[in-house]
Amino acid sequence: QADAETFTFQAEVTQLLDLMAHSLYSNKEIFLRELISNASDAIDRSRFERLSRPDLGEDDAPPRIRVEYDKDARTITVADNGIGMSRAEVIDNIGTIARSGTAEFLRSLSGDRRGDAALIGQFGVGFYSAFVVADRVTLTTRRAGAAAAEGVRWSSDGKGEYTLEAVERAEPGTTIVLHLREGEEDLLNEHRLRSIIQKYSDHISVPIVLGAQGGSGADQAGGDSPVNQASALWTRPKNELTERDYHDFYRHITNDFSDPLAYLHAKVEGRYEYTLLLYIPSHAPYDLWMPQARRGVRLHVQRVFILEDDGRLLPRYLRFVRGVIDSADLPLNVSREMLQGSRAVDHIRSSAVKRVLRLLKDMADNEPDKYAEFWKQFGSVLKEGIADDPANREDIAELLRFTSTHSATQEADVSLHDYVDRMKEGQDKIYYLLAPTLAAATASPHLEAFRKKGIEVLLLSEAVDNWVVTGLLQEFGGKRLQSVAQGVPDFGDLADEAEKKEAEQASADYADLVGKLKEALAGKAWDVRVSSRLTTSPACIVANEADTELTLARRLRGSGLP
């Protein structure tokens, strides 16, 4: 047997561990939720790998998570018969290098969230929460498919270093032993552990059994009956489930500590048979805008977890949706590649999209405050759908919210319907202004004439807005969208006779000056005109009708596109 080898954690991990030990005082008991959730993931992955790798052998031992406590040794043990880890995987997953969420987690612990351990799971560093209650953690593991001699033991006191050694391990899987800190003895108690498991892990679909080890206490061992429900929540009938059940399950699959804004649960039968349990979170995850952001929905086939979606089950613009899709039609050995072009998947996808959009529409109609919150968190993501999902463009357009010259606030709370309802007599266009920032939009001279006439203008200042106006095919509900910074401002029937006369007079009066300016700007400006679009600014630059919108042109230049 090889000697233990010592490794040093990266500074960021050490900082994280230090925090675990000294600063996280509320929701301490979530360490158990995190370890059980890892165990359950490991069992899911083992079931999945077995489908494609006969060499892993038959699934003889039924999947199980064991939680044990030992009063004499002052330990809590969490053991699973899941996929396990190789030595390299141990180093990668819980070893030297900080995982991507480490820094975000450290940053999130400010204000009223200071000291709250419950946040940890969402940042992908849940394993380390073991150090909230333990001053030494030992993890023994063996990868499924590896020889018994290829077991690995990882051990650390959370003070900057860990050791690794090779060990024999009869079964694949992982066992984690927590040596409790002074003062955490109350956890060595059957009743306490049972209630923690029921509180946080009831919806784990693998049975969790609880037992006592060692001399004292062993007599009151819990036996073999699972502490949790151990059934897949989404397979249960709706009328048996409470909002609390749904919320707990949401927390389990997302590691999000807050309740979701809304959810939908549908069992669909017919040509294809599938169940959807989809949630709209109440806040954006830290990695919503990162290219490798974790995906929202998990695909199950007949309750077996298959994979996490990477954009095939739900389109990218709904990547904030979390939840489970369980199909009865796909083969158990379905791969990512097979999802592409599968009729069942296409069907599920379009039905899931329609249902999510309907859920959002209901929220917008019936719970506008909630919807405003949704829009703040995910509006910019949903906007991508205007360009990405032509089939549902109209439904998405109804969900859009904009800032406009109508409201005094900077809130994006104006829908296209609101706008159209407020349109002036004779107005036939929806006016908008694209600008790099909201401040620039508000200060734009292009608005002057519209303000004077009391015509509302939508102020679009997000990068994605360019695609929104192009994607809307310049039209909503039969009304053309018109940039106020483009072409000759055409008020159509809104201009009265007197104004037209005045404009003609002005053109005549200033013909000389315009001629000189044209000469001076020859080759630089397309045209120079006397304009009625300004009321206080002396001059402004406008894009030619046919030209690319100026703001868009600036952005394209900035993005390095030709």
CB 490 within 8 A of CB 531: no
Q: Which does 458 bind (CB under 5 to 8 A by kind): ligand ADP, Mg ion, none?
A: none
Phi and psi based region of residue 112 (left: phi greater than 0; alpha: psi -120 to 50; beta: remaining): alpha
**Least distance in Å: CB of 16 to ligand ADP?**
10
Note whether 130 binds ligand ADP by CB under 6 A: no
Which class for 409: exposed (0-12), middle (13-18), buried (19 or more C-beta within 10 A)?
A: exposed
**Least distance in Å: CB of 37 to Mg ion?**
5
**Least distance in Å: CB of 253 to Mg ion?**
12
**Is 304 or 464 the residue whose CB approaches ligand ADP more closely?**
304
Note whether 174 binds ligand ADP by CB under 6 A: yes
**Least distance in Å: CB of 122 to ligand ADP?**
8
Strand partners, 78: 67, 176
- Amino acid identity of residue 487, one-letter, is G
One of 63, 95, 126, 445 touching ligand ADP (CB under 6 A) = 126
Q: Which residue has the tokens 């990882």?
A: 154
Task: Report the helix count and the strand count for the chain, using DSSP H and E.
Answer: 18, 18
Note whether 82 binds Mg ion by CB under 5 A: no
Total number of residues that touch Mg ion (CB under 5 A): 2
Cα torsion 374, 260, 298, 355: sign: negative
Note whether 213 binds ligand ADP by CB under 6 A: no
Q: Which does 551 bind (CB under 5 to 8 A by kind): ligand ADP, Mg ion, none?
A: none
**Least distance in Å: CB of 44 to ligand ADP?**
10
One of 13, 27, 117, 124 touching ligand ADP (CB under 6 A) = 124
**Is 12 or 428 the residue whose CB approaches ligand ADP more closely?**
12
**Is 84 or 226 the residue whose CB approaches ligand ADP more closely?**
84
Provide φ and ψ at 216, rounded to 5°. Answer: -65, 135
DSSP string, 495-533: S-HHHHHHHHHHHHHTHHHHHHHHHHTTTT-S-----SS
Residues 71-100 that bind ligand ADP (CB under 6 A): 80, 82-85, 93-94
Q: Which does 93 bind (CB under 5 to 8 A by kind): Mg ion, ligand ADP, none?
A: ligand ADP
One of 31, 48, 69, 127 touching ligand ADP (CB under 6 A) = 127
Angle at 385 between CA 380 and CA 389, to 5 degrees: 175
Distance CA 135, CA 465 (A): 51
DSSP β-ladder status, 208-212 and 134-142: unpaired
Note whether 125 binds ligand ADP by CB under 6 A: yes
**Least distance in Å: CB of 326 to ligand ADP?**
22
Distance CA 266, CA 68 (A): 37
DSSP β-ladder status, 173-180 and 75-80: antiparallel
Listed in sequence order, the residues at least 6 apart from 370 whose beta carbon sits closer than 8 Å to its beta carbon are 261, 262, 363
**Least distance in Å: CB of 124 to ligand ADP?**
4
One of 13, 24, 38, 324 touching ligand ADP (CB under 6 A) = 38
Note whether 132 binds ligand ADP by CB under 6 A: no
* List of residues contacting ligand ADP (CB under 6 A): 34, 38-39, 42, 80, 82-85, 93-94, 124-127, 174
* List of residues contacting Mg ion (CB under 5 A): 38, 126
